[in-house]
Structure 1
Amino acid sequence: MFITPEKLAELQEINFSKAIRVSNIALGGIERLVNLQLEVTKSLIAESSEQAKSLSKVKDLQGLSSLHQEATKPSLDKALDVAKSFYEAASATQAEFAKVIEEEVVHTNKSVAELIDNLQKYAPAGSEVAINAIKTAVAAAAATYDNVTKAAQRVSSDLTEAGVAAATSSAKAVSAVSRKKTPATAEA
């Protein structure tokens, strides 16, 4: 089985298309993160401007304490929202890359199966046992890869969700403690 110039050109076109697709996925991920950074920066500038205006209007210590309490409460929630948005953007990009890799593994498995079939057609008599052993080994490797990939995705997803949930509950607990302490210090 020889590779003809037409087949070689077809392979080059396929690989070029895959390279373009991977590049577009990477650029899309970068674009999501940059846009998110720009939104966060604009929001921070606007909030800082408002806080500076509010600070200039403070007349006493109680007003300063109240301003501090009002500023910290939404900041924690916004920080969690930003972290969640970054996670979602990164996860979306990772999922797109995983899809490309999965498609490539399926294509490779198909190519290996075709190669084994061709090998079987042109193999000398009596080699059926060896070819069947190769087929079995390839099928077992593909099944193992599939199981490991699914398990790794499940574990990664579970760990990430647990981490986000733990961070959120910790941040809310800190925020609650902070809210309780601030009024007490303002009254003292």
Structure 2
Amino acid sequence: MTTAQQQFSAFATEQVEVALRFARISIDSAERIIKLQVEVAKSTLESNAKNANALVAVKDAQEALALRQKLAESSIEQATNYSRSLYEIASQAQVEASQLVEERTTAFNKHVVSGLDQFVKSAPAGADVAVAAVKSTLQATAAAVDSLTKAAKQVADFADASVKAAGTATADAVKTAAKKTNGANAAAV
């Protein structure tokens, strides 16, 4: 086998491995989402059965209002927990995919530099200046990609914190509003 054929074979094998890693990331994430949805469906079914029994046992308007408050808070909490879990799964998949892309970018740059080094060995005199310029460009590009990756990570971290804070704030606001409504309804009764 010639060197070019060996290099092509190694490149093809590497690309298949990368595609398989992307597929594993996607399938693992889908599997976790499906598992989450099944768990939520089971939990919702159990919760609805308990709620139906509690509604049947209501004896007066005061108890009905208190139950309504409790059910509203429970529903909001369940929805918030589901959203958080779903967001965590998506975030983890994004992190894994980003790591893979970063690894591939680094490997690509190393291959290009290695190829340039081999070219320099067999290149005519004076080509080393052009190769140095290409290497410099690659290093600048790698630094730019690294900066963009770091900036994207900071944005993702900020978005993650914002989503978590928004979820908590929403749940707290609904609880507060429900308590005020419940208090007004109790006063009216």
Question: Do Structure 1 and Structure 2 share a fold, with TM-score over 0.5?
Answer: yes
Gaps of 5+ in 1: none
Contact 2:73–2:174 (CA under 8 A) maintained in structure 1: no
Residue 14 of structure 2 corresponds to 14
For residue 34 of structure 1, what is the amino acid of its counterpart? Answer: I
For residue 50 of structure 1, what is the amino acid of its counterpart? Answer: K
Residues in 1 aligned to 2:129 and 2:13: alpha-carbon distance in whole angstroms: 37
Give CA-to-partner distance per residue, 1:64-88, whole Å, 9 cap, x none: 1121011112222222111111111
Q: Offset of 1:19 from its aligned partner? A: 1.9
Q: Offset of 1:96 from its aligned partner? A: 1.2
Residue 169 of structure 1 corresponds to 169
Q: Secondary structure at the match of 2:185?
A: helix
For residue 108 of structure 2, what is the amino acid of its counterpart? Answer: T
Residues in 2 aligned to 1:40 and 1:185: alpha-carbon distance in whole angstroms: 31
Give CA-to-partner distance per residue, 1:38-90, whole Å, 9 cap, x none: 11111111111111111112232222112101111222222211111111111
1:59 maps onto 2:62 in alignment? no
Q: Cα gap change, 1:17/1:115 in structure 2, threshold over 3 Å: closer, same or farther?
A: same
Matched residue count: 187
Bigger drift between 73-82 and 63-72 goes to 73-82
Contact 2:73–2:175 (CA under 8 A) maintained in structure 1: yes
Residue 179 of structure 2 corresponds to 179
Contact 2:55–2:64 (CA under 8 A) maintained in structure 1: yes
Residues in 1 aligned to 2:173 and 2:181: alpha-carbon distance in whole angstroms: 12
Residue 75 of structure 1 corresponds to 75
Q: Offset of 1:183 from its aligned partner? A: 2.6
Residues in 1 aligned to 2:96 and 2:152: alpha-carbon distance in whole angstroms: 16
Percent identity between matched residues is 33
For residue 182 of structure 2, what is the amino acid of its counterpart? Answer: T
Structure 1 length-normalised TM: 0.91
Residues in 1 aligned to 2:170 and 2:21: alpha-carbon distance in whole angstroms: 40
Residue 153 of structure 1 corresponds to 153
Bigger drift between 160-169 and 83-92 goes to 160-169
Listed as ranges, the matches of 1:108-147 within 5 Å are: 108-147=108-147
Listed as ranges, the matches of 1:18-29 within 5 Å are: 18-29=18-29
Residues in 2 aligned to 1:136 and 1:59: alpha-carbon distance in whole angstroms: 80
Structure 2 length-normalised TM: 0.91
Residues in 2 aligned to 1:72 and 1:66: alpha-carbon distance in whole angstroms: 10
Bigger drift between 66-75 and 102-111 goes to 66-75
For residue 168 of structure 1, what is the amino acid of its counterpart? Answer: T
Bigger drift between 2-11 and 113-122 goes to 2-11
1:32 maps onto 2:38 in alignment? no
Residues in 2 aligned to 1:138 and 1:6: alpha-carbon distance in whole angstroms: 25
Q: Offset of 1:3 from its aligned partner? A: 4.3
Give CA-to-partner distance per residue, 1:142-188, whole Å, 9 cap, x none: 11111111111111211231232133213312211211220331231
Q: CA RMSD in A?
A: 1.6
